[in-house]
Structure 1
Amino acid sequence: MSNTNFPIQREDELKHNLAHKVLPPWRRYDRFDIEYVRPSLQSSKGLNFFQTLKWSPGGRSILALTENQKLTNWPISTRDTDTKEQAFILGKDEKKAVTPSECVYSFAWHPFQNNEKQDSDLFAFSTKDYPIQLYNIAKQQRVSSFYIVDHREQFTGSHCMDFTPDGEYLIAGGTDNVYLFNVHQGQKSPVSTTPTSGHGFSTWEPTLDGVQSSICLNPQNPRTVALGTFNNTVGIYDNYGSRPCQLKFSLATGTGITCMKWSPDGCKMYVGSRKSTQIEVWDTRYAQDMLYELKDHKGDTNQRMSFDTFGYEGLISGGTDGCVSVWQGTELVEKINVTDQRNVTVAAVQKHPLDSSLLALCYGRRSDIMDDEDGFSSMEYWNSAFSSLQLWGMNNAFP
């Protein structure tokens, strides 16, 4: 890819060090549970669960989306325990929520004031049939709006968004198009709209068809953008999504991409898909074939599952078995059940942006009837907390 520089890594030495490094024990700091209240087994009303979460850029709060379409900001504070060790707690009394008008497609934190003294208060969210909203959670008010208009001149939402590291632009994926908005100037219409498929493409230029479902900026060169689609294909673009597509590849399994992560060196990409039991790893410098796959992922679900990188060539992810798994390269080195031995999908796992020893995760799912596969009676099933937002710690974790 043009204008892309990747650092040289001593791979043999780093892999050898990781292979002999023992993972530290896990410790749960705090949790917030959602109890299910079912007035009738024939109705799904009253159900609520955590769907996904994202750390703020400075790591002082967590923005979580629940099934009732509320975005809640949970402040994170520290306290000293009796053993004089530092613990982290969720600010249950200080949390603030916003309820969008429609189903939330995606959301992203703005990196404004990303420093040790003050964290960001701004985030953008996209909903069905409404413009993208830039919201100030501290002031509880909308800051600005950004319009994506389809061929019928109707507003349409974006299933994936991300801000540039300087916060000047918002990149939003659409259907056969990628949009770039100027945040600082507050322009409602995009400053550029780049088609990824359709008329006007030459036979040699790769195209990216369908609804774009995931977006990820290269950590070594943020102008390089990876876009994933519900058609299970990935395209990599330079200069914030400008043509032509530099690289395109398709996943071997799954029904639609739900999460992508670059490796810290910006050379490899981890890609997860719906209804897939593996996470595929691709080398974006070549991409002739898949580099390797992380098996036993436990991702056979239509829920959107998000994972995170964990050190060099490491990955941490949830699963439908209620466990969080850690890989080093192709090897599964750690698995811990975080759902009190229940087979509930752990939908999101993210490490703290500044401290990799602190993790946040959430789990939960919708279920209209009690099935025997869970192994619980109906009374035990509905009286137990089947959705939770949790903070976990790992001493001396990977950098």
Structure 2
Amino acid sequence: MEVVEAVEDRATITREESSKREAETLTPELLAATKRLQSDDRFDDDDDDDTPTVLDGTSNARPEPKSHHDYFDGLQWSADGTTLLLSSAVSHRLASYILPPGLLTPPDPQGYHDLNPYCIHSLPEPIYATAIHPAFSLSNPESYYLASLRALPIRLLSPFAPGLVASYPLVSRNTEAWIAPHSLLCASQDSGTFFAGSDGRVSLFDMWRDGEEPFASIQTGRRRRRAGKVNSAQFFSDEGVGSRGVIGIVSALAMNNEKILAAGSFNGGIALLDPFREEGSVGTLPLPADTMRGVTALKFQPQPARGDYLVVASRCSNAVHVFDLRNAGAVMATLRGRKAMTQQRLGIEISADGEVMAGGTDGVVRAWDGIGMQEGEVECSREWQLHQDAVGGLGLYPDSEMTIAATCAGSRIYEDSDVSRREKEEAGSLKVWTC
């Protein structure tokens, strides 16, 4: 099997040479894909005997809306590399896909494996955020994942069986209304602590205490109380961080090996927190103007020996910013050409060797050379046309010598839209590639 390998001498490429070089368009190899892509039948049982049984997670799930086609809007790859977790935007379903053992040797004559959901949880409300525990293992029946739903407690679910494992209430002390976090993150492999980001706050929960409220919380910023609508411009400087901290809904979370928690908000700010210290807050990052539309993803460099870099993606921005936390949180590089002028969250990941990969609204996944090797304006070095619609989910196989990527694509397509059948089928697709 032919595999596209990374260029070994990337470290010698100067910034000037990289900016002049055009992105190399490569042809990926498809390893696996969902057999049926339409939302009406994608989750139904197949007639083949060897298809796994699909399980319904709740009995009170709402019927699927018929006004537009369903699509996957989020994807996560488990730490052991065996399972994919996908969320659907319209039908409010979470589906786990267990990858076949012979993933790298697709069968003949089709040339790729058929993927079918192993377990599905049909949920009563829209899904705001999910998080797989970093100690997830296919051999461990107690491997779980978290899900945040609108106007309901946070749920702990199993990828192997239906039903609710545990729940964690997050309630407003002023109104007693349910608070739905827009971001979730598990602390580490050997910890039961997880973080939930809501409006101006990060709450800490113990996963093993079913039904209990957070045991601690960190306030990322405070709004000034006044009549009328809050104008975020009154609280933020030109860099996107205000004197009152980072306000707005915490939309993305990431943690490095030093236990520093980065919390990005829809208002465009990023707070650096120490959740295990009494003070909690460490500082804020001065962000460029094009992040003011809101942070959608935060990723730390997976290899700390190569530097402590934070990658920031935001909505309605074609740029991805790389911060060097060792240098007072300065912007080290700006990765250009992402094609992400949309409010939709798009997939972004960092490979083991520090290569940033991000999906665009044009169905293309682009890659930029390793973090820390270049500064200033950086154009993408490689790209793959994997879909025909926005790449909403992107995951990389952990600890692999080759680049194996899982992608899902789609956006809202209404029945009366002038869209081809192929584009409608693409809206529900999950695919696994070698890039």
TM-score of Structure 1 vs Structure 2, range by shorter chain: 0.7 to 0.9
Alignment of 1:136-155 (within 5 A): 136-150=158-172, 151-155=174-178
Q: Which structure features the higher share of strand residues? A: 1
- Displacement of 1:336 in angstroms is 1.3
1:16 corresponds, among 12, 33, 37, to 12
User: What residue ranges of structure 2 are gaps of 5+ in the alignment?
Assistant: 1-8, 19-23, 41-64, 225-241
Sort the Cα spacing of 1:285 and 1:370 in 2 relative to 1 into closer, same or farther, 3 A.
farther
Q: Does 1:243 align with 2:280?
A: yes
Please list every run of at least 4 consecutive aligned residues from structure 1 whose deviation after the TM superposition is greater than 6 angstroms.
Answer: none
- Displacement of 1:380 in angstroms is 4.7
Residue equivalent to 2:54:
none
Do the aligned residues in 1 keep the contact of 2:366 with 2:382 (CA within 8 Å)?
Answer: yes
Sort the Cα spacing of 1:17 and 1:88 in 2 relative to 1 into closer, same or farther, 3 A.
farther
Do the aligned residues in 2 keep the contact of 1:136 with 1:143 (CA within 8 Å)?
Answer: yes
- 1:340-391 CA-to-partner distances (Å, cap 9, x unmatched) read xx3x1111211012325321000011133777xxxxx755566654331000
Question: Match of 1:320, SS?
Answer: coil
Q: Does 1:230 align with 2:266?
A: yes
Residue equivalent to 1:360:
406
| CA distance in structure 2 between the partners assigned to 1:288 and 1:57 by the alignment | 28
| CA distance in structure 2 between the partners assigned to 1:57 and 1:177 by the alignment | 27
- 1:172-226 CA-to-partner distances (Å, cap 9, x unmatched) read 11111110011234361111022222389xxx976111110000111x22x2100
Q: Does 1:307 align with 2:342?
A: no
Sort the Cα spacing of 1:176 and 1:78 in 2 relative to 1 into closer, same or farther, 3 A.
same
Question: Match of 1:365, SS?
Answer: coil
The size of the alignment, in residue pairs, is 359
Q: What is the identity, as a one-letter code, of the residue corresponding to 2:32?
A: D
- Displacement of 1:142 in angstroms is 1.5
Residue equivalent to 1:209:
247
Q: Does 1:35 align with 2:38?
A: yes
Do the aligned residues in 2 keep the contact of 1:34 with 1:48 (CA within 8 Å)?
Answer: no
Do the aligned residues in 1 keep the contact of 2:157 with 2:166 (CA within 8 Å)?
Answer: yes
- Displacement of 1:110 in angstroms is 1.8
When structure 1 is superposed on structure 2, of 25-34 and 58-67 the one drifting more is 25-34
Question: Match of 2:12, SS?
Answer: helix
Question: Match of 2:286, SS?
Answer: strand
Question: Match of 1:15, SS?
Answer: helix
Q: What is the identity, as a one-letter code, of the residue corresponding to 2:187?
A: T
| CA distance in structure 1 between the partners assigned to 2:25 and 2:13 by the alignment | 12
| CA distance in structure 1 between the partners assigned to 2:126 and 2:208 by the alignment | 27
- Displacement of 1:276 in angstroms is 0.7
| CA distance in structure 1 between the partners assigned to 2:408 and 2:215 by the alignment | 36
Question: Match of 2:280, SS?
Answer: strand
| CA distance in structure 1 between the partners assigned to 2:84 and 2:414 by the alignment | 29
Q: What is the identity, as a one-letter code, of the residue corresponding to 1:300?
A: M
| CA distance in structure 1 between the partners assigned to 2:115 and 2:413 by the alignment | 29
Q: Does 1:349 align with 2:394?
A: yes
- Displacement of 1:240 in angstroms is 4.7
Sort the Cα spacing of 1:331 and 1:156 in 2 relative to 1 into closer, same or farther, 3 A.
same
- Displacement of 1:132 in angstroms is 0.3
- Displacement of 1:322 in angstroms is 1.3
Residue equivalent to 1:374:
none
Residue equivalent to 1:262:
300
Question: Match of 1:250, SS?
Answer: coil
Question: Match of 2:362, SS?
Answer: coil
Identity %: 21
Question: Match of 1:285, SS?
Answer: helix
Sort the Cα spacing of 1:182 and 1:205 in 2 relative to 1 into closer, same or farther, 3 A.
farther
Q: What is the identity, as a one-letter code, of the residue corresponding to 1:250?
A: L
Residue equivalent to 1:334:
382
Do the aligned residues in 1 keep the contact of 2:72 with 2:427 (CA within 8 Å)?
Answer: no
> TM-score normalized by structure 1?
0.80
| CA distance in structure 2 between the partners assigned to 1:379 and 1:184 by the alignment | 48
Question: Match of 1:144, SS?
Answer: strand
Residue equivalent to 2:60:
none
Q: Does 1:156 align with 2:192?
A: no
| CA distance in structure 1 between the partners assigned to 2:339 and 2:186 by the alignment | 30
| CA distance in structure 2 between the partners assigned to 1:379 and 1:162 by the alignment | 38
> TM-score normalized by structure 2?
0.74
1:194 corresponds, among 218, 223, 235, to 218
Sort the Cα spacing of 1:378 and 1:279 in 2 relative to 1 into closer, same or farther, 3 A.
closer
- 1:217-250 CA-to-partner distances (Å, cap 9, x unmatched) read 11x22x2100000001111112358522333323
Sort the Cα spacing of 1:380 and 1:63 in 2 relative to 1 into closer, same or farther, 3 A.
closer
Alignment of 1:369-388 (within 5 A): 378=419, 380=421, 384-388=425-429
- Displacement of 1:50 in angstroms is 1.1
